[in-house]
Amino acid sequence: MRLVAKVKVEHTDLGGSFVKPQSAKEAEVALERCAQRRCAVLTIGLKPRPLVLPVAPPVALYGARVADGQLGLKFMRVKQNPWDSASKCIQLSISGADPQQLTLLRDRINTLLLRAAGAAPAGGPAAENAAASGGAGKGKGGVGARPARRPLAPRSLNTLAATTGPSVSLGGWGSGSVVSLRSGPGGGVAPAASGFSLGTTSRQQLASSADSARSVPADEELGDLSDEQQRALQLVQSGRSIFFTGCAGTGKSLLLRHILRCLPRNTTFVTGTTGLAACHLGGTTINSYAGIGRGEGSLESLVRMAGRGESLQRWRATTHLIVDEVSMMDGRLFDTLEAVARKVRGSAAPFGGIQLILSGDFHQLPPVAKGREGAAQRKFCFEAESWARCIPESCFLSKVFRQSDNEFVDLLGKIRSGSCPQDKVSQLLKTCARPLPTDDGILPTKLFTHREDVDLINAQQLKALPSEPHKFVAQDVGSGEVLAAACPARRTLELKVGAQVTLIKNISQRQGLVNGARGVVEKFNDSQGLPVVRFANGRVLTISRERWTIASGGRLAAQRVQLPLDLAWAMSVHKSQGLTLDRAEVSLERAFEPGMAYVALSRVRSLEGLRIIGSIAAQALRADPKVVLFYTRLRQRQLAALGLGPAQFRTLY
């Protein structure tokens, strides 16, 4: 179908912000089948070159609306390169044509994309031609009909992102005779040189899903590894399954990011035990990777679930499986996964022959348990029957990087193992009772054990600021539920001058702008209204939008583009696990899990940055005896391997 209309085209830049639009008062808009590309294309007659959008995966439509005589369309282009760092979004506004024509156009685009994604009855090329030229989708709602906003079609979800390099954000909307876009000087839209292939086989999709889960490490600057970390990396490269562990701040997360860079892209899958842990690495939850839902039911039924479709392909394609924050995985789940892996892969080897790379500290937060009964039945991962078979190598990282004060490191070590004498605890409470200095205007983050305290404090403090609020609404693709559960960035972030904020993504390791770095909003810049943040280390930076991708079942389930900031007057201890905070005020009187006190207290770099409000609940200072025993044995094995005796324990660990 063809029509003539007023058109405005906008596209995103590397940070996900819309840049200078291109428009035409009278442009021809054509939706036609393109024989060369074997799909329908939407051509907008812009000058000097037309814009041609393939209406087929990997392009997906995630917003389509007819209102006030105007058709708004939002497309997202699927990532082609695993190291892509930009969001690729294009937004069209078409007006000045017959409103019924606009509605028809919207419906046909929807039909084509749904069909291409397999969500509509298959019609083959003939039906696709018909939809493009007007034979399908007739009469599906008129002007003002319900907006066709929907999550991305499943087959398009695996690899949303954009191409980096000189071409900005839209390179790849087409190739050959199809014009692709590149941001020209001044942010305008100009033709780009390179295109991309639209055809994706399931193998490619599978590969890209693994890739998408690995986009984070390439986006950030990583520091160098210590000798000890290098050795752990070499162990991974030797091909053996490994669990690496160590106190808080020994660089487990940093090491994981280095490891990711060394493993094969297409067959390494990155997972975490929680959505948050997975999201930090750009991966998926372990349950979702495995395709076993919540992991409940008989082994036979779980094997049936995992042994279908893409989950089966994923299991079979995997050579390396990374699981972060493994302390939060229940041992029963580990055994289940191990059995599923063997059955689905048809291999008797432990974990079906997959090389496992597990990371975590069992003295930090344990598997979630409901009530006292649940806690009593808790089974750690190392208690799994298959653990010893699957994990021939364990590696304890001993050098703490987060703190440099040896006395503080030693004290934290004792708290970690539940062996801190009461007089040391009292001394710590006394030392850390004083308020922290706030001369630079950066207030300490209050760490609470309960979520409701966190929300209340942040809302109250923001409201109390006299300055004008600035709202930043995320650009989301995919399921809002998935994003709410796993993405650290908020859907709507309200900031004001003077707001206390924390980075929720690593921006630069070398500059200390890492997940957890604290700052205060100084102003909003004039051009784009972005916040300018002064960090505790003195750096002042305009914060641009960042991208989070959430995978589910090996495919990209959702993406959020938002500022990498959160309000930081208060935060939950659970959310703080994995972070390095500059200043913290911890409240542990209501702590309810072993490891909670250790996680909270070990977030800061030094005692100077720590204040403790009130006392610490006794149970939060206890270590689980099973965990203590596990580490004692681990040390004994490692010392024996080094030919050392118990006297060297302290210096080594």
Ligand X SMILES: Nc1ncnc2c1ncn2[C@@H]1O[C@H](COP(=O)(O)OP(=O)(O)OP(=O)(O)O)[C@@H](O)[C@H]1O
Write out the residues near ligand X by the rule CB under 6 A: 223, 225-226, 229, 246, 248-254, 361, 401-402, 509, 514, 578, 580
CB hemisphere CA count around 474 (13 angstroms): 27
Rounded distance between C-alpha atoms, residue 449 and residue 443, angstroms: 19
CA distance 101 to 584: 59
Minimum gap (Å) between residue 360 Cβ and ligand X: 8
Q: Which CB, 509 or 544, lies closer to ligand X?
A: 509
DSSP code for 4: E
Beta partners for 562?
A: 546
Nearer residue to ligand X within complex by CB, 223 or 295:
223
User: Considering the complex, what minimum distance in angstroms separates the CB of residue 418 from ligand X?
Assistant: 17
Q: How far is the CB of 579 from ligand X (least distance, A)?
A: 7
CB of 284 to ligand X, least distance (A): 19
Q: Which is nearer to ligand X, 320 or 402 (CB)?
A: 402
SS3 375: helix
3-state helix, strand, coil in the chain (%, to 5): 35, 25, 40
Amino acid in the structure at residue 148: A
Beta carbon of residue 248, minimum distance to ligand X (angstroms, whole number): 3
Which residue reads 């995103």 in tokens? 12
H helix runs in 78-226, sequence order: 99-116, 124-133, 202-212, 215-219
Nearest to 360 by CA among 648, 642, 633, 630: 630
| Residue with smaller CB distance to ligand X, 275 or 578 | 578
Tokens 């974990």 appear where? 351
- CA 556, 558, 563, 566 dihedral sign is negative
Q: Which is nearer to ligand X, 169 or 577 (CB)?
A: 577
Please choose, from the candidates 210, 277, 264, 153, the residue with its C-alpha nearest in 3D space to the C-alpha of residue 551. 210
**Shortest Cβ 251–ligand X spacing (Å):** 3
44: its two tokens: 């907008």
Q: Which is nearer to ligand X, 156 or 580 (CB)?
A: 580
**Nearest to ligand X of 333, 365 (CB atom):** 365
Interatomic CA distance for residues 517 and 439, integer angstroms: 17
Residue in the block written with tokens 């022959």: 353
Residue nearest to ligand X (CB): 251
Say how many CA atoms lie within 13 Å of 561 toward its Cβ: 20
In the complex, minimum distance from the CB of residue 260 to ligand X, in angstroms, rounded to a whole number: 13
Residues contacting 119, CB < 8 A, separation 6+: 153, 154
Q: Give the residue with the Cβ less far from ligand X, 95 or 509.
A: 509
As measured in angstroms, the least distance from the Cβ of 407 to ligand X is 18
The answer for residues whose C-beta is within 8 angstroms of residue 408's C-beta and 6 or more apart is 606, 607
> Taking the complex as a whole, how short is the minimal distance between the CB of residue 250 and ligand X, in angstroms?
4
Minimum distance, C-beta of residue 593 to ligand X, in the bound complex (Å): 16
First-to-last alpha carbon distance for the chain, in angstroms, is: 71
Beta carbon of residue 400, minimum distance to ligand X (angstroms, whole number): 8
**What is the distance between the alpha carbons of residues 64 and 46, in angstroms, rounded to a whole number?**
21
Tokens 């006794």 belong to 618
DSSP letter (8 states) at residue 628: H
Of 246 and 350, CB closest to ligand X: 246
Distances (CA, A) of 39 to 132, 503, 536: 9, 43, 53
CB of 423 to ligand X, least distance (A): 26
Is 272 within 8 Å of 324 (Cβ atoms)?
yes
DSSP string of 38-60, one letter each residue: TEEEEEE--SSS-EEEE-STTEE
* Shortest Å distance, C-beta 80 to ligand X: 30
CB of 328 or CB of 530, closer to ligand X: 328
Q: Toward ligand X, which CB reaches closer, 97 or 600?
A: 600
What's the rounded Cα separation, in Å, for the pair 557 and 415? 39
Residue 393, burial from CB neighbour count under 10 angstroms (0-12, 13-18, 19+)? middle
Kindly tell me the burial class for residue 544, based on how many C-beta atoms sit within 10 Å of its own C-beta (0-12, 13-18, 19 or more): middle
What tokens appear for 636 in the block?
């004994």
Q: How far is the CB of 305 from ligand X (least distance, A)?
A: 32
* CA distance linking residue 282 with residue 272, whole number of Å: 9
